[in-house]
A and B are shown apart, each in its own frame.
Chain A
Amino acid sequence: MKRVYMDHAATTPVDPIVAEHMMHCLTEVWGNPSSVHSFGREARRVLEESREMVARLVGARSNEIIFTSSGTEADNLALLGVARRLARKGRHIITSTIEHHAVLHTCEYLEASGYEITYLGVDRTGLVDPEDFRRALRPDTILASIMLANNEVGTIQPISEMAAASREAGVIFHTDAVQAMGSLEVKVDDLGVDLLSLSAHKIYGPKGVGALYIRKGVRLEPLVFGGGQERQLRPGTENVTGIAGLGMAASLAARQRASRVQRIQSLRDMLERGIKERIPGVTLNGSPDRRLPGLLNVTIQGVEGESILMNLDLKGVAASGGSACAAGSLEASHVLLAMGFSRDDARGAIRFSLGADNTTEDVERVLQVLPPIVERLRRMRQGAGYGY
Chain B
Amino acid sequence: MVTERFGQGTRVVVAMSGGVDSSVAAALLVRQGYEVIGVTMQIWEAQDPLEEAREGGCCSLSAVADARRVADLLGIPYYVANMRGVFGREVIDYFVEEYTQGRTPNPCIACNQKVKFEALLHKASELEADLLATGHYVRLSYDESRARYTLRRARDLQKDQSYVLARLLFPLGEYTKNEVRVLAAELGLPVAGKPDSQEICFVDEGRHGEFVAERRPDAVQPGPIIDASGRVLGRHRGLSYYTVGQRRGLGIAAPYPLYVIRLDPERNALIVGPEIQTFAPGMRVAKLNMVALETLHPGTQAEVQIRYRARPVPASITPDNPGSVLVRFKEPQKGVTPGQAAVFYQGDLVLAGGIIQEPIWE
On A, residues with C-beta under 8 Å from B are 306-307, 310-311, 313-314, 325-331, 376-377, 380, 384, 386-388
B299 within 8 A of A: no
B212 within 8 A of A: no
CA distance A331 to B125 in the complex (A): 21
CA distance A325 to B125 in the complex (A): 24
Can you name 14 A-B residue pairings with CB atoms under 8 Å? A306-B81, A310-B81, A313-B77, A314-B77, A314-B127, A327-B59, A327-B61, A328-B79, A330-B82, A331-B82, A376-B128, A380-B126, A386-B119, A388-B119
CA distance A343 to B37 in the complex (A): 27
A328 & B126 in contact (Cβ 8 Å cutoff): no
Shortest CB–CB separation between residue B183 and chain A, in angstroms?
27
B122 within 8 A of A: yes
CA distance A306 to B126 in the complex (A): 10
Q: In the complex, which of the residues A314, A376, A377 contacts B37, with contact meaning CB atoms closer than 8 Å?
A: A314
Q: CB-nearest residue of chain B relative to A324?
A: B80
Shortest CB–CB separation between residue B92 and chain A, in angstroms?
14
CA distance A384 to B114 in the complex (A): 13
Using known A-B contacts A313-B77, A326-B61, determine if residue A307 contacts B123 with beta carbons closer than 8 Å. yes
A327 & B80 in contact (Cβ 8 Å cutoff): yes
Using known A-B contacts A325-B46, A327-B46, A327-B61, determine if residue A310 contacts B122 with beta carbons closer than 8 Å. no
Task: Name the A residues within 8 Å of B122 (CB-CB).
Answer: 380, 384, 386
A329 & B80 in contact (Cβ 8 Å cutoff): yes
Using known A-B contacts A307-B126, A310-B79, A314-B127, determine if residue A325 contacts B42 with beta carbons closer than 8 Å. yes
CA distance A311 to B40 in the complex (A): 16
Q: CB-nearest residue of chain A relative to B121?
A: A384
Task: Name the B residues within 8 Å of A376 (CB-CB).
Answer: 126, 128
Interface string of B78-100 (1 = CB under 8 A from A): 01111111100000000000000
- Chain B, interface size category, equals 20 to 34
A380 & B125 in contact (Cβ 8 Å cutoff): yes
On B, residues with C-beta under 8 Å from A are 37, 40, 42, 46, 49, 59, 61, 64, 68, 77, 79-86, 119, 122-123, 125-128
Task: Name the B residues within 8 Å of A311 (CB-CB).
Answer: 126-128
Q: Which 9 A-B pairs have the closest CB atoms?
A: A329-B82, A329-B80, A329-B42, A328-B80, A327-B64, A307-B126, A388-B85, A388-B86, A310-B79
Task: Name the A residues within 8 Å of B77 (CB-CB).
Answer: 313-314
Shortest CB–CB separation between residue B42 and chain A, in angstroms?
4
CA distance A310 to B61 in the complex (A): 20
CA distance A252 to B77 in the complex (A): 35
CA distance A326 to B40 in the complex (A): 13
Task: Name the A residues within 8 Å of B79 (CB-CB).
Answer: 310, 313, 328
Using known A-B contacts A311-B127, A327-B42, determine if residue A387 contacts B81 with beta carbons closer than 8 Å. no
Shortest CB–CB separation between residue A90 and chain B, in angstroms?
31
Q: In the complex, which of the residues B40, B85, B127, B128 contacts A387, with contact meaning CB atoms closer than 8 Å?
A: B85
Q: In the complex, which of the residues A313, A326, A330 contacts B49, with contact meaning CB atoms closer than 8 Å?
A: A326
Q: CB-nearest residue of chain A relative to B79?
A: A310
CA distance A380 to B123 in the complex (A): 10
Q: CB-nearest residue of chain B relative to A343?
A: B85
A326 & B46 in contact (Cβ 8 Å cutoff): yes
Task: Name the B residues within 8 Å of A327 (CB-CB).
Answer: 40, 42, 46, 59, 61, 64, 80
Q: CB-nearest residue of chain A relative to B65?
A: A327
Residue from A311, A329, A387 whose CB has the most chain B CB atoms within 10 Å: A329
Task: Name the B residues within 8 Å of A329 (CB-CB).
Answer: 42, 80-82
CA distance A319 to B77 in the complex (A): 15
Task: Name the B residues within 8 Å of A380 (CB-CB).
Answer: 122, 125-126
Task: Name the B residues within 8 Å of A326 (CB-CB).
Answer: 46, 49, 61
Task: Name the B residues within 8 Å of A310 (CB-CB).
Answer: 79, 81, 126-127
CA distance A307 to B79 in the complex (A): 10
A388 & B83 in contact (Cβ 8 Å cutoff): yes
A306 & B82 in contact (Cβ 8 Å cutoff): yes
Task: Name the B residues within 8 Å of A313 (CB-CB).
Answer: 77, 79
Shortest CB–CB separation between residue A324 and chain B, in angstroms?
8
Task: Name the A residues within 8 Å of B80 (CB-CB).
Answer: 327-329
Q: CB-nearest residue of chain B relative to A344?
A: B85
Q: CB-nearest residue of chain A relative to B129?
A: A314
CA distance A326 to B80 in the complex (A): 11
Residue from A325, A330, A388 whose CB has the most chain B CB atoms within 10 Å: A388
CA distance A88 to B263 in the complex (A): 60
Shortest CB–CB separation between residue B135 and chain A, in angstroms?
19
CA distance A327 to B68 in the complex (A): 10
Shortest CB–CB separation between residue B54 and chain A, in angstroms?
14
Task: Name the A residues within 8 Å of B83 (CB-CB).
Answer: 388
Q: CB-nearest residue of chain B relative to A309?
A: B79
Q: Given contact pairs A327-B46, A329-B80, A329-B81, enumerate 9 new A-B contacts (beta carbons under 8 Å).
A: A310-B79, A313-B79, A314-B77, A314-B128, A329-B82, A384-B122, A386-B86, A388-B85, A388-B119
Q: In the complex, which of the residues B64, B125, B128 contacts A328, with contact meaning CB atoms closer than 8 Å?
A: B64
CA distance A7 to B68 in the complex (A): 21
Q: In the complex, which of the residues B49, B82, B127, B128 contacts A388, with contact meaning CB atoms closer than 8 Å?
A: B82
Shortest CB–CB separation between residue B335 and chain A, in angstroms?
35
CA distance A376 to B37 in the complex (A): 19
Task: Name the B residues within 8 Å of A306 (CB-CB).
Answer: 81-82
CA distance A64 to B224 in the complex (A): 72
Task: Name the B residues within 8 Å of A388 (CB-CB).
Answer: 82-86, 119
Q: CB-nearest residue of chain A relative to B86?
A: A388
CA distance A386 to B46 in the complex (A): 24
Task: Name the A residues within 8 Å of B127 (CB-CB).
Answer: 307, 310-311, 314
